[in-house]
Amino acid sequence: MKTSPAAPAAHVDQLLADVTKLLGRQLPPEYERALRTVPRHLFLPDRLWLRDGEGGYRPCDRSTNPDGWLTAAYADTPLVTQFTDGLPSSSASMPSMVLRTLLLAGIGDHAGEARPRRVLELGTGTGFNAALLCAVLGDEAVSTVELDPLLAARGERNLKDAGFAPAVSCGDAAAGWPLGAPYERVVATFSVDRVPQAWVEQTVAGGRIVTPWTSAWCRYGTLALTADRDGTARGRFHAFASFMPMRRPCQGTVGPATAPVQHRGVTSLSPWLVAGGDLDAEFHLGLAVPGASFAWDASGEHAPTRLHIADDEGPSWAAVDYDGRSADRFAVIQAGPRLLWDEITAGYTHWETLGRPRIGQYRLSVNTAGDHAVQVETGRGRSGITIPEGRASRLSP
């Protein structure tokens, strides 16, 4: 029996109520026990960063605001736990999203199948997710890998303080962890735009890989794959979760897009249709237009409102301007070898032609060479999308 400092009962009761409400169902008993067994506050640093409601973050310090800090620790919200170069680089995910991921992976007695004996977690972070796995499956079943040595050491210390002892390793999660392979479940705590081949190779036939998904255009969705005997994997996307993307060793940054203006024109496609929060449309565009990202500019420097689009791996860029008056015609600027707005327009038009499919209608397969292919299931059959090496995706002809 694990012994660890108890979580405040009232806070856990509220967290369980919030999680149940969001999931729309009662948690399986072993998950409720795990949430009561694993004190979330033991896995958080003394300084957290909370969203300030204006697109930024405000610090919350345990020393100066202990009640606010403890309330945040048991709120069903993501908490930023580390900044690097002025940007969030590590976070404690929403407990409901953590639990939903574990449910999707089929971990626990509720799954109606044999309990997995070997589970690999990718991205130790604070250690909270690994502790939940240990609470459900036992320490000996869990291995966890973290890229950042400081985070790995802190996560291992948090786990020890809470009474758990999984195998914690420091390494590049893209390589999985071959020393403990093969695994019956592989669960990532960060998002990817490709499934590393090592994850497939280290998963037993019939085992599951669950990972949040991302693209340059849309960081949203969760992918669940089942490994086959021939070294391939296939599965589908699910419409939940937004996680920080996977970091790689010595990962560089791409400079700003600087190509000179080459094309000016007008479009009737509203920029809000492609980047205004319709996650189904944005998810499709993330697959269909690889490497394209967007940002809104309301500074008024160029126009009352501008949608700026950039190629994350090259000099191309585009801008769509709203003049504050006309909502059916927008000025367009495009620069560089990629006509990004034309690609976005084609991608959105194709999405409409397919009947505006939702995220759950997309399936993904990975072959033995690591090639990715997506099939969109519609009422009229399937449409193919190929995800080439080095790019998030591109529509097949």
- What is the set of active-site residues? 90
- The residues facing 317 across adjacent strands are 310, 335
Residue 288, token pair as written in the block = 């269909």
Please give the Cα distance from 234 to 198 (Å, whole number). Answer: 15
Residue 167, token pair as written in the block = 């195998």
* Conformation bin of residue 3: beta by default, left when phi > 0, alpha when psi is -120 to 50: beta
Give the DSSP letter of residue 238.
E
- The residues facing 187 across adjacent strands are 121, 210
Would you state the torsion angle of the CA atoms of residues 58, 62, 67, 71, taken in this order, to the nearest 10 degrees? 60
Please give the Cα distance from 397 to 381 (Å, whole number). Answer: 16
Would you state the torsion angle of the CA atoms of residues 15, 20, 23, 27, taken in this order, to the nearest 10 degrees? 110
Please give the Cα distance from 119 to 103 (Å, whole number). Answer: 14
Give the DSSP letter of residue 295.
E
Residue 386, token pair as written in the block = 């190929």
Kindly state the helix (H) or strand (E) to which residue 82 belongs, with its residue range: strand 79-84
Q: What are phi and psi of 133, to 5 degrees?
A: -60, -45
Handedness of CA 392, 296, 302, 56 (dihedral sign): negative
Instruction: Give the relative orientation of helices 95-105 and 9-23 as an angle to the nearest 10 degrees.
Output: 60
- Among the listed residues 282, 265, 261, 278, the one whose alpha carbon sits nearest the alpha carbon of residue 344: 282
* Conformation bin of residue 146: beta by default, left when phi > 0, alpha when psi is -120 to 50: beta
Helix (H, G, I), strand (E, B) or coil at 21: helix
Instruction: Give the relative orientation of helices 95-105 and 128-137 as an angle to the nearest 10 degrees.
Output: 40
